[in-house]
Amino acid sequence: MIDLSGENLEGAPLFRAQLERARLGGANLKGAMLNSANLKEAVLIRANLDEASLYCAVLVSAVTYGASFVGANLTRAMLICANLSTSDFRKAQMARADLRETILRGANLNGADLTGADLKGADLSNALLNDVTLADADLSGANLTEVSVRWSNLKRANLRGVNLKGANLRGTNLSVADLTDADLSDADLSEVNLNNARLDGVKLSEKTILQESSLKGAVFSDSVLEQIMNFSL
């Protein structure tokens, strides 16, 4: 087992490096070139990967909580079942990344680009997703309880069955998104664009806020319309 805990590897050329199960806790990997590297089950607790390039890297079941990936390139990276709790992904490039069943509790993803990312079944509870691009992303079955997703772009996103209870979605673009059977109880949907969105079976509550939101062309059942009339207008 490779142990590089606490090592200074800033800017290191680690293309296709075989680092499966490596111990990299507290290591400085700022700007490191880790394209297509194998970091399966690696331990990266509190490591610094700011501005690192992890294009197509494999981080399946890796543990990174408390690590920093600010401005990192994780385009098409594979992070299935990884524990990324409390990690910092501000302004990271994560387009088309595979984040299925990933744990992102309390993570900071503000300003990140997750266009087309696969987040099916991911746990994003209490995460920060403000000013994020999640257009065409798949978040079906994900847990977004108490998440902050303000002024973000989720156009055409798949949010079927998503738990958004207590979420702050103020100003977010959810046009053409699929929110079938989503839980929007106590969520703040102020100024949200829901034009042409699918809202069949969504759950609202008396505390759900739809003030100044747009529902032009949205598809929903009579029961959902009744909830909107009773709770939100």
Burial of 219 per CB tally in 10 Å (0-12, 13-18, 19+): middle
Q: What is the pLDDT of residues 117-153, one digit of tens each?
A: 999 999 999 999 999 999 999 999 999 999 999 999 9
Q: What is the pLDDT of residues 91-110, one digit of tens each?
A: 999 999 999 999 999 999 99
Q: What is the pTM of this model?
A: 0.93
Position 172 pLDDT exceeds 60: yes
Q: What is the pLDDT of residues 8-65, one digit of tens each?
A: 999 999 999 999 999 999 999 999 999 999 999 999 999 999 999 999 999 999 999 9
pLDDT at 228: 65
pLDDT at 227: 67
Local confidence band at 1 (pLDDT 50, 70, 90 cut-offs): confident
Cα distances from 94 to residues 3, 42, 74, 117, 129, in angstroms, run 27, 19, 5, 7, 13
The DSSP secondary structure of 134-194, one letter per residue, reads -TT-B-TT-B-TT-B-TT-B-TT-B-TT-B-TT-B-TT-B-TT-B-TT-B-TT-B-TT-B-
Higher-confidence position of 5 and 231 = 5
Position 229 pLDDT exceeds 70: no
> What token pair was written down for 120?
């099916």
Q: What is the pLDDT of residues 200-227, one digit of tens each?
A: 999 998 889 888 999 999 888 766 666 6
> What token pair was written down for 198?
């699918």
Cα separation, 212 vs 135, in Å, equals 22
Cα separation, 159 vs 133, in Å, equals 14
Cα separation, 146 vs 190, in Å, equals 15
Position 233 pLDDT exceeds 80: no
Residue 42 is classified by DSSP as -
Instruction: Give the closest residue to 178 by CA, choosing from 161, 191, 193.
Output: 161
Position 232 pLDDT exceeds 60: no
The DSSP secondary structure of 72-91, one letter per residue, reads -B-TT-B-TT-B-TT-B-TT
Do residues 71 and 54 make contact, with C-beta atoms less than 8 angstroms apart?
Answer: no
pLDDT at 226: 67
